[in-house]
Structure 1
């Protein structure tokens, strides 16, 4: 049965055209694998009865296979010139039948282990070789390390489709140019390249390749073989992200980590980092994971994505407990590239890109705006402004004065325009046996799609390593940092976007010679020398020493300093504005007063680590590993700010400010931690695995300083059991894992629970003058301590068919308790912040899957990766404050965190009769009243659902609707975080060409887009969504779009009308590349033996499929009600990668 399945697979493979010899050798390998499946000789018939006349040779092969079970290996192209066969035999041997079948055929065959290998009868030089330089005949043998010939190994001419294969003796023959490079490969062995260099005999020994099981994974304070892991750890393949236009390392994780919700916050340069939630939201506070870069806690913005060598994501307690009090939300471990013992290598990667808006709402233009605005005034029974007359509208219709009465000024297009970006990265690496180095510099210059917005970022990194005492002592020095500058409009992008969408199209941004409109202040301020600039950057210095004391015992000591700063300077100059009087005439209001401010913060973190790793292999298959260590960390930060207004000169200098308006402030804080940690692991013959981790943390933040965070995990590699090895040889690895542990969290900013906090930057009125003052603004709570996350995990890892297929499935439960919450206290205490208490509880559970395939479709290489995860989040306990309502969001026991809260809707009222049947008469005039907000509904209004809230039979269970719309009718409408996240990657390569498609998406998430644009004429005269042209009117009733109005109180009612399904599937990235062949490498003057040149084109955020109806991009920070976020961008880029 196994061979039947394999044969069907081979028949599919044969349908793909390929160079016949290469295909033959590849299939030989597969057949040899099949031969190991313990199919005994008795399963094959040894005698053949056959009678055919003028039969195709392929038909004869099929009949022989049916009667004997022998498999035939051939290319269908070989049979094009084969002669028809006439055979009539009874009880003949297979050798006799084959001899008769191949008589007078241009083919020959070899019988090998129940397989018949078919090939051309005469060995001819490959036709394509004639196209290459002068060729030479090369022969040789391919062996493994034991000297055994490798049968069916592939020998190819590099960067061509020309090749040959080894026979039963490991022998090959190929014709190749004298300056060609031969590539030797065999499944399960490392590929080897050898230059021909005029040689006629080349014998090669192939080393066993590092399999997926032998992969080394970075874990906390060490490394482990992937096959021995008992925790849930995700490792990222960095090959498919190295060419993407990623400006932040956090974006590299999106769609690459099963169980993680990762959403880009914004498309704004410098603010485009992603929100990351691993296995759900586990706290009401900061739920971001811990990030460790080369042993130092840092941020994902602190590392250039091209500097990254490995990324490991620790998701469960077993893998993360070694980081204790900071690991409750997961841990991201990053190591950067190191130098190797090699000659000097120089690499350059650069690209240029053009950015476009992915999706933004469309608003009304020209007469549509004027006419719909008039309709809104009528529907709200408001008096038109005195200037809103027929003559006024005729000024626009007839284009009387395009300056004062513009009909179609497009504010959105004035703000958003295509923008360029370019990125460059240079690295130099190499080294000797005792000294290795790797140094890189990166530079990014990105204009924003919104005018006045730009970021420039310079990164650098240098990793140096030196060994002494015959490699027993290693010293490493790492230096890295970056400096980033972000320029913005003076009032920020959110203000500019707000005004771009609310500004009527009948008002210009600027009237030449007069001034800017109120909506255009930011543009005018920028033109007048305004400034809004952020500068930031860290400097990271780390030194470490590793000493191999004896075999298996290594001592590591490191000390690191992480120093960073952040500074923002804002200058708002005096700008002349213009506005309209009620009669439509221009008025020049008093110019806005200028102001200047500067805020700066600095911090420094010092980390000392010392730990010892010990490994011991004991006779009989017993393997022990142990690690014990100590860590101390100290964090200090300080900040200051100053401001002035009414500058006498329109320049950003504080000396020009009015001294009576000066304001200054400053602050400082410190935190210290001490930790002891350890790990003990045991495995028996790599089959039974057990590991335990323990960390003991102390923090100056709490009065109860110390917390203990343990974990234990176990694994069973059932694939190593004899019954599995003997019966299921195609399974390379099958491992069951389970783990339990407790992790901590203290992510509550700079709050100190152990002491009161005194603020000295307050102001108070004393004798009608503002004077500086101080007061206690935070009270200590000495009972406060860590949040604790208790986690359970059950997992399955698998690798089959020589790891062509691999993957994992995990189910987890995560209970967080003692969540730090700020419970309100009496306002008479005068506190600005209420004390934290350990009172909240939350629960997450879910499943995650990750499947990979690495193989080929004929001559086309193929890599596929599919992953999906489901997370269910619930708030468990709110300490008697259930529910907690935060505007449009609610925390409620038994429901997801930060759910959207408001009125469900039932469409649009179509008639007064429908209203009468829905609501109860409430006022003396007999009008039907929507009791909520005192609004009287009319046809065309949103119909809010009257929930079952009235108990008519006194049993305590609501069983009837009360006919009143009030607070009791509000319900949970939707979720801020998705039920499912999923992604898939498809990568193909063929003859130097490569293409990759990366899809990413979420399902079961909502977005509340209420306010500007979506609500008619938000705040009065604001512009509104173009879809309201099809809104409800008496002449053209709509069942989905409400009538327009100018009453701002109506759009403040939060309802499901504005709630959208934010699920989406996005072609996140598509890339096409070409790697130059050796011939082209030579032509440009590089050595093909160690050089590489690849060119590529890339589209980021290419296509999005979503049900969002208002036109917003579905990807945005979770739980954010629409405030017109800076839109996501589609990036078209072209780049080059050169290595020499």
Structure 2
């Protein structure tokens, strides 16, 4: 059942045409002004660059140049407002003066800073929830594809796990993992467009990012906010002369960590011994092993990274504009793998009268990916005694193991994906009376994907071949829109009672269509990679679609008394077509309060706190992006043997239910409380906050049902598990200006989080973490973290056959194998003896930021890490026979002459999942180091600022884990397992920022 009326894409293009049809010049100013020139300095007399100079009551303004100077045209009776972060705002009447000298004073109240919240803004003093802000300039210090990765180390309560794969979106977790089987990532709201992916947004176009971390701040987004909300605000133009900025950097990527593997002879000796121990013949003649191939080096390279951006901004009283274009290219560390993206953004605003404003934010991106198979697993396991190619030019192979030649596999992989994406909105703001604003917007995100995958016919050996070429083509398109209308009323009564009310309605629709087809026998020439070039008699076609509709009504009320006491509450009623009609609608809400203690009379004589704010909030949010919640039972065609009087036991066609669905499927709700303290001390040089949170999610999980219901696997998704995350966040920042030449800062944040499955309704069956060899290694149960590692506990190594005979042991145990503990004492080793050995979720994660500026030099660095978690070395636990092993395994394994080791004997048996493979996931990483120099350009015509810089990203990691990386993203029940991870990379770049 639809929850709102259908709109078509035609409305979008009509709106865009009307908006873009208004030329900027039609709104040119016609009033009498004077030209005002001036200079802005700080308290030491040092010129201040980038100070905002705005004409009060209008959108017009400019910014100061490198020498602190500014020029602006304004009415002789106007008032200019000067503002800069960390300094008190100043309002200066022009009074007919043509020249002004302004001195900015430090210590602007942080509580008066404006913070972006859902569907509006508030002073920080009015914010009752937990909201972290990061400026765009902090994001652009890092050579990253997406701003989501730029949040690393900067925000308490937020974990960012990035992949080294070009074009990949990093994984974000806000205050722990709450959803077990659903999408645990937050939503992103880019200029009111809700999305799950911001790889199409140029980081240089971002003004600020706000992370809504608790239910009281998230509830205005209702059913979409269960895993957090990240608000992205892009840059806008300011009135004044045109400003042009050029930014560029280039550099290279290299693998951060390697795993030292056995060389050719050590590997051959190990494999021979494993075969002999299995009563088989050795497979290598050690005297003929002269090859030592480093397969990791053979598939990797130094990948070049490039980024170029240009933006133009400016405007008049009636119109402002912001235009940018950017190009990003990342040649990954895997040979042949690359990603490139071009982005164009146009953000314009038009104000034909003081009471109306309209405009658009448009972002067009084109991304091209040359994808390659992840060969790190093959490179880890492939025999080093085998060359990449033999002397005759044919590909090398080892017939005694099932691993593909990874270099050949890369060579035969042709996987291309092109993505065209148009995202943005058109909007109008009307203020018919003072304090009342009506905002209407049409927000959209249109994507089109074009995929080509071609595999030629080839044969390396019987275990690595493709008899007939195959071409796969895929086209996908999706159009998503949100129509939003809201009214906001702000008014102050008797100079003490501030009231802000927002009410609104939004309608969402997402419609997608995907068509995939494959055909064999296409020639190996790229210009012939079309379906009609193959065997059309055997074309396989898949076509499927998606339609999701939502409707929402929402409201928020904020009341402030005497700038000291703040109350705020919000409510949202959401409807979704994802659920049956009886469960289609849900209500989400929040309430909170804050108290500005330092505004009280009894605090005026104290000299400890410059600002002190207490806040508390409670709310309920939801998540409707959960897998397995289709409301209709799945039915399949089958044939069963029944005797209905005909041929005995002849197969007859029929229908069977192959999975039972929950007829009461609905939202996955999260309720939570948050309380915090925010403060500044020591003349506002030290600022910080402490927050406590406690949130509970009623999560969907697999539970068993009676087999009489006909369910094929006897499980059903049901909202049957309560998951709690609770913790404490601490954030401290110190900023000090020593003199006009030298200033520095240092800050840090730390989060303590405890994740726990509190209770389960029914019989929970949530084992996961498959290794692909028949073993699973995680189990989610009451009293433990989601995705806890569930393994056998080792108890040394068998030294004699007598030890084996006199103890409980697994079938086939031999001298030199691990002894496993019979933890339940029943005399046998089975799943009942498995124990829990921690989980991937850290108990502590933190970030550190520091830097200084000295004259024209600036330096900054940030670091992050976590502690108290575990990871599972899955690649080490997937030995399928004669695979390569790590160097320390080959050289320090158990033998009759090396019995004191903790590494078992050489074996080709599938390893038993045990605590031997569970390692510490704690690490400390230097995330980014940047050194810059601002070139004096006073005499350079037209140039306002030129800064050159060099950056090292991820140059160093300190870890105990023996694998490639301890940062191992994945689903809630399969995170922290290294199988075919794309390793994190180290990046070195140099570039410049140039402003005209």
Which residue of structure 1 aligns with residue 271 of structure 2?
Answer: 373
- Quick one: structure 1 residues 635 and 393, their matched pair in 2 at CA, closer, same or farther if it must change by over 3 Å? same
Which has the higher mean CA deviation after the structures are superposed, 829-838 or 679-688? 829-838
**1:893 aligned partner:** 782
In 2, Cα distance between equivalents of 1:468 and 1:274 = 42
Q: Secondary structure at the match of 2:545?
A: strand
- In 1, the alpha carbon distance for the partners of 2:349 and 2:702 equals 46
Contact 2:702 2:765 in 1 (8 A): no
Bigger Rg, which one? 1
2:818 aligned residue = 942
Partner of 2:898: 1036
- Describe how 1:626-1025 pairs up with structure 2 within 5 A: 626-647=501-522, 652-703=529-580, 704-728=583-607, 730-749=608-627, 751-753=629-631, 755-756=632-633, 781-817=662-698, 819=700, 821=702, 826=707, 829=710, 836-858=717-739, 859-882=741-764, 884-886=766-768, 887-909=776-798, 911-912=799-800, 916=803, 927-928=805-806, 930-932=808-810, 934-938=811-815, 940-947=816-823, 949=824, 961-1012=825-876, 1018-1025=879-886
Are residues 240 and 773 of structure 1, via their aligned partners in 2, closer, same or farther at CA, if it must alter by over 3 Å? farther
**Number of the residue aligned with 1:166:** none
Counterpart position of 1:154: 44
Post-superposition shift, 1:453? 0.6
| 1:87 corresponds to | none
TM-score by length of 1: 0.74
Question: Contact 2:707–2:714 (CA<8 Å) still a contact in 1?
Answer: no
Q: Which segments of 5 or more consecutive residues in structure 2 lack a partner in the other structure?
A: 1-37, 50-65, 71-81, 93-97, 398-402, 642-652, 769-775
CA distance in 1: counterparts of 2:249 and 2:167, whole angstroms: 18
Q: Give yes or no for contact 1:509–1:520 (8 Å, CA) kept in 2.
A: no
Structure 1 position 1011, deviation (Å) = 3.6
1:416 aligns with 2:300: yes
1:946, distance to aligned residue in structure 2 (A): 3.1
| 1:208–1:248 Cα change, 3 Å | closer
CA distance in 1, matches of 2:530, 2:727: 56
**Higher relative contact order, chain-length normalized (CA < 8 Å, sep 6+):** 2
- 1:1137 maps to which residue? 993
Matching residue of 2:949? 1096
**Paired residues for 1:1112-1131 under 5 Å:** 1112-1117=964-969, 1119-1131=975-987
CA contact (8 A) 1:362 1:1111 kept: no
**Aligned ranges 1:285-300 → 2 under 5 Å:** 285-298=182-195, 299-300=197-198
Within 1, Cα distance between the matches of 2:266 and 2:91? Answer: 70
Distance 1:609 1:1063, change over 3 A: same
Separation of aligned partners in 2, 1:445 and 1:595? 29
Q: Are 1:384 and 2:298 matched, yes or no?
A: no
- Whether the 8 Å CA contact 1:188–1:802 is kept in 2: the answer is no
Q: CA deviation at 1:233?
A: 0.6
Aligned residues of 1:439 and 1:460 also touching (Cα < 8 A): yes
Of the three residues 1048, 1056, 1061, the one matched with 2:920 is 1061
- Counting matched residue pairs gives 891
- How much does 1:715 deviate? 1.1
**What does 1:289-438 correspond to in 2, within 5 Å?**
289-298=186-195, 299-385=197-283, 388=284, 392-396=285-289, 406-438=290-322
2:326 is aligned, of 439, 442, 445, to 442
Q: 1:410·1:505 contact (CA, 8 Å) conserved in 2?
A: yes
Take 1:380 and 1:831, find their aligned partners in 2: how far apart are those partners?
39
Secondary structure, aligned partner of 1:673: strand
Deviations along 1:1084-1123, whole A, 9 cap, x unmatched?
4334xxx111111111101111111x24211221524221
In structure 2, relative to structure 1, the CA distance for the partners of 1:777 and 1:641 (3 Å cut) is farther
Distance 2:379 2:230 in 1: 39
Distance 1:379 1:255, change over 3 A: same
Measured after TM superposition, the shift of residue 885 of structure 1 is 2.1
For residues 89 and 446 of structure 2, the distance between their equivalents in structure 1, rounded to whole angstroms, comes to 43
The answer to whether the 8 A contact 2:703-2:762 is kept is: no
Q: Is 2:434 the counterpart of 1:551?
A: yes
Tell me the distance in 2 between the aligned counterparts of 1:208 and 1:1065: 35
Is this contact kept in 1: 2:609–2:680, CA < 8 A? yes
Partner of residue 95, structure 2: none
Name the stretch that deviates more: 506-515 or 695-704: 506-515
Q: 1:607 aligned to 2:482?
A: yes
The correspondence for 1:475, drawn from 354, 358, 371, is: 358
Q: How many angstroms does 1:945 deviate by? A: 2.8
Decide which moves more: 856-865 or 303-312. 856-865
Q: What corresponds to 1:622 in structure 2?
A: 497
* Cα-to-partner distance string for 1:969-1026 (whole Å, 9 max, x where unaligned): 10111211111110110011001101111010011111100344x66xx211211101
CA distance in 2, matches of 1:656, 1:711: 60
Q: Given the superposition, is the C-alpha separation of residues 851 and 301 from structure 1 closer, same or farther in structure 2, using an over 3 Å criterion?
A: same
Alpha-carbon offset, residue 731 of structure 1: 2.0
CA contact (8 A) 2:443 2:483 kept: yes
Q: Is the 8 A contact 2:86 2:109 kept in 1?
A: no
Distance 1:236 1:445 in 2: 25
2:369 to 473, 486, 491: 486
**Residue pair 1:742, 1:790 contacting (<8 A) in 2 also:** yes
Cα displacement (A) at 1:157: 6.7
Q: Give yes or no for contact 1:709–1:744 (8 Å, CA) kept in 2.
A: yes
- Conserved? CA contact 2:215–2:619, under 8 Å: yes
Aligned partners of 2:471 and 2:519 also within 8 Å:
yes
Structure 1 or 2: larger helix share? 1
Cα shift at 1:417: 1.6
2:128 matches 1:233: no
Aligned residue in 1 for 2:381:
502
Query: Contact 1:577–1:591 (CA<8 Å) still a contact in 2?
Result: no
Structure 2 vs 1, CA of residues 214 and 503 (structure 1 numbering), >3 Å: closer, same or farther? Answer: same
Among 216, 219, 225, which residue is 2:117 paired with? 219
- Alpha-carbon distance in structure 1 between the residues aligned to 2:895 and 2:510: 63
* Cα distance change of structure 1 residues 548 and 757 upon mapping to structure 2, 3 Å threshold: farther
Deviations 1:48-88 (A, max 9, x none): xxxxxxxxxxxxxxxxxxxxxxxxxxxxxxxxxxxxxxxxx
1:452 maps to 2:336: yes
Closer/same/farther in 2, CA of residues 848 and 649 from structure 1, 3 Å limit: closer
Q: What runs of 5+ residues in structure 1 fail to find an aligned partner?
A: 1-141, 145-149, 160-178, 194-198, 397-405, 581-588, 766-771, 920-926, 950-960
- The CA distance in 1 between the partners of 2:112 and 2:302, in whole Å, is 47
Provide the C-alpha distance between the structure 1 equivalents of 2:622 and 2:711, rounded to a whole number of angstroms: 31
Q: Give the match's secondary structure for 1:324.
A: helix
Question: The residue matched to 1:792 in structure 2 has which SS?
Answer: strand
Cα distance in structure 2, aligned partners of 1:861 and 1:989 = 5
